Amino acid sequence: MTTWRRQYTHLTTASPEAVWKRWTTPEDWAVDDPDLRVAEFAAPPRVGATGRVINHGTPAQTFTFTELQPGVAMNFRIRLPGAVLSFPHHMRETPNGLSVTHGVEISGPLAVVLGPLVGRKIAAGLPAVVRLVTTNALADMAAG
């Protein structure tokens, strides 16, 4: 199967718990992602649960959580015609701080077309989103 993927990693002094809270709180998604207008899902999320996201200028998309490992990984996917759009999130402790990675993957028969058309725009926003998640996680920690 063809898969198109990109990712961005950022080091932070935020705790895994603070980053995890931002990943699993629907109200935080639109704060952390400038392209996102609304995110709706039941919190805390569970694998198999669905939600909805609305980006600026696009119709609502339904997504399904496919991975939830507290303090480690979160993933959700959106079905597209001829492809699946996934958003893998990972974090791990390193000697230099917490490594936080956000990615975008498009798999399926149309991945070769949708990667450059859809994935490239999403991937371009990943650095800003990861920085906002980690900056806001630090602010949450400071606020107590």
Concatenated DSSP letters for the chain? --EEEEEEEEEESS-HHHHHHHHT-HHHHHHH-TTEEEEE--SS--TT-EEEEEETTS--EEEEEEEEETTTEEEEEEEETTEEEE--EEEEEETTEEEEEEEEEEESTTHHHHIIIIIHHHHHHHHHHHHHHHHHHHHHHHH-
Task: Note if the pTM is more than 0.75.
Answer: yes
Residue ranges covered by each domain of the chain: 3-143
> What does the pLDDT look like over 97-115, one tens digit per residue?
999 999 999 999 999 999 9
pLDDT of residue 131: 97
Q: Name the fold adopted by 3-143.
A: Alpha-D-Glucose-1,6-Bisphosphate; Chain A, domain 4 (3.30.530)
- pLDDT digits 0-9 by tens, 21-52: 999 999 999 999 999 999 999 999 999 999 99
Q: Sorting pLDDT into bands at 50, 70 and 90, what band is 144?
A: confident
**pLDDT score, position 57:** 86
